[in-house]
Amino acid sequence: MSASGLQSFAFHRHEQSDVVDAIRPIVGFDRPLPDGRPAIAGLDPETAARRYLTEAFASPALPTFNTPEIDGKASEFRTLGTENVPLTGTQVVKFRQVYRRIPIYGSLITVELDENNELLALNSTLGTPPADLNVMATLSPAQAMDVVRQRAGQDAESINALPRLVFYFHEPEQHWHLAYLVENVTRRQPDTPKGAMRRAPELMDYIVDAHSGNLIAELPRTQSIHPQGMQPTQELLFRRRRMEPEFEEAADGLGVRRKFAAKKMGEVWKLIDSELNVHTYDFSFHDLERDERLLPGAYVGRPPEPWDPAAVSAHANAVAVALFLRKVLKREGLDNRGGPVISSINCCYGGGGGKEWHNAAWIGTQMVYGQRAAQGGGIRSYAVALDVVAHEILHGLTDHTARLEYAGMSGALNESYSDIFGVIVSNLNNPDVGTWNWEMGEELETSGIPIRDLSQPEKYNQPAHMKDYEFLAVGPLTDWGGVHTNSGIHNKAAYHLLTSKDAQGNFLFDPREVAAIFYLALTQHLSRTSKFIDSRRGVELAARTFLRNDPRQKEKLAAIGAAFDAVGITSNLGANFEPNKLSS
């Protein structure tokens, strides 16, 4: 069992074809279909995935992969849905582990099938709560909400959330709980811990013990560019068809001329990209804490002349991210359903007065951008930096998929994925990876000093190897366990991968390949409590499928292993996933 209380296991057909053959026989599906395909291709993916899962649990070929039993009763597996993955031409069926109809927090089984429903990969993270844990809650849902309201400083009508029972493993005490999970609650605490910096609106998940009523965990959901508690460009050139080509051109917050889509409504042009569903608003320097009900604000429009440069940055950069999702990752928006991407400029927070708020954040449903004084007068929006915009908006991708906790190593992984995507988006028009800008956010500070550097994390007080991992308590004074600090380790692995070279000294990967592989790992193989080693396993699994027809697959897989080895993210990191051979 790992420190998260969950047991991991994985294999891929590429590495263990004998195992796949052993669990392949499915009674009644021996004869081929009329079109010559195997009969299993006629099943719906969920049915095929369940049959493979049943065979895998029972097969002697996988002696360490067993259905977790609690007090002699086997777990069940609830379907989370089937996703067609255009990047790989595969179908992924996901399951959540449940016991006595109660989900195991952080559990996940991913079954990946090819176009004929043949098994490609299986990846699982499962838990085994103790048999003596009382599964009958003594605390009512209403009482759990009272605990949450008291902690969050909210009244009953303000919280639009329902408590759900889960089995929750509390890492600090290494103990299982039957608990209520209450998600996406805005915390409105009038008091700020001494020494803490109130960086952004606080969106929280709460875990309340279903027997004692104790608050077990308070997990932050707001993902911002700056650490909590601690003191610390060019446009993508994609072609796209438009039903109604309505383009404007204006200077952004850095003085760069940008082309962007707008929509004429009456006599006013507004910052709406109808095709990509991108919308940009002005919050008029309202306080996000006091005036949250006014979000997102008023559409940025013209007239008055000219276009607001900060709004041009926010809008054009959000469009660049939406195009990256569509063209590179083959995904329609953050939710994969074409949902809106909403941004608000001119935001403030914390009741300090004035117009400065040095941050940008994804607050669960949209982007909010602060601003700082600029050299020569005026203010500069945090929306000017494409890497920062991509970083923050793509936290929304994590929210819609793996929903990685924003604390400890899971939080550092959450930050790292956004850093990786942010750097790739901001450099994607430069075909020479050797001249990429690996720094993030240098446009934000008047000094030009960046926030982080993927190539040299140490420059900005981040570790670059697991031997230097900073074990910090999880809380608001320590940036929730150093999520903006320890992310440097996983970032450096991605840097090693992006700059891997072949024997002739040429870069081995197209950056779009790396983006796709990390995206597949995040969205198909990770769950709330995943750690760095889970990410490595997910990246290796994703790469085996994504590169399965690549003649250089073996060389590229070796480079992936070397990239993670170089930063100490190895299979002996504390997560036992035998007989996984993916890191050998």
Give 3-state DSSP helix, strand, coil % of the chain, rounded to 5.
Answer: 30, 25, 45
Q: Catalytic site residue 484?
A: yes
* Tokens 């140490």 -> residue: 458
Cα gap 517→512, rounded to integer Å: 9
Q: At what angle do helices 487-498 and 553-565 cross, to 10 degrees?
A: 150
Q: Which of 356, 247, 350 is nearest to 292 (CA)?
A: 350
340 CA to centre of own chain: 18
φ and ψ of 31, to 5 deg: -85, 140
Query: What is the 3-class SS of 295-326, one letter each residue?
Result: CCCEECEECCCCCCHHHHHHHHHHHHHHHHHH
Both structure tokens of 540? 């290796």
327 secondary structure, DSSP code: I
Give how far Cα 270 sits from Cα of 92, 265, 273, 444, Å.
39, 7, 9, 26
Q: Report the Cα 393 to chain-centroid distance in Å.
A: 10
CA–centroid distance for 58 within its chain: 33
Distance CA 106, CA 307 (A): 45
Sign, CA torsion 221/392/325/558: negative
> Could you tell me if residue 216 is left (phi over 0), alpha (psi between -120 and 50 degrees) or otherwise beta?
alpha
Task: Single out the catalytic residue among 226, 315, 395, 484.
Answer: 484
Q: 182 and 161 in contact (C-beta within 8 Å)? A: yes
Tally of CB atoms within 10 A around 5: 21
Closest to 126 measured CA to CA, from 143, 102, 109: 109
User: C-alpha distances in angstroms, 130 versus 208, 217, 245?
Assistant: 18, 20, 60
- Cα angle for residues 501, 433, 584 (degrees, 5° grid): 35
- Pick the catalytic residue: 83, 218, 275, 392? 392
Backbone angles phi, psi at 184, to 5 degrees: 55, 55
Q: Cα–chain-centroid distance for residue 94?
A: 17
Residue 460 DSSP class: G
Q: How far is CA 454 from the centre of its chain?
A: 18
- Asked about 69 being catalytic, the answer comes back as no
The answer to whether 377 and 454 have CB atoms below 8 angstroms apart is: no
Neighbours of 468 (CB within 10 A): 15
Q: Which two tokens stand for residue 138?
A: 């003594």
Active-site residues, by number, are 392, 484
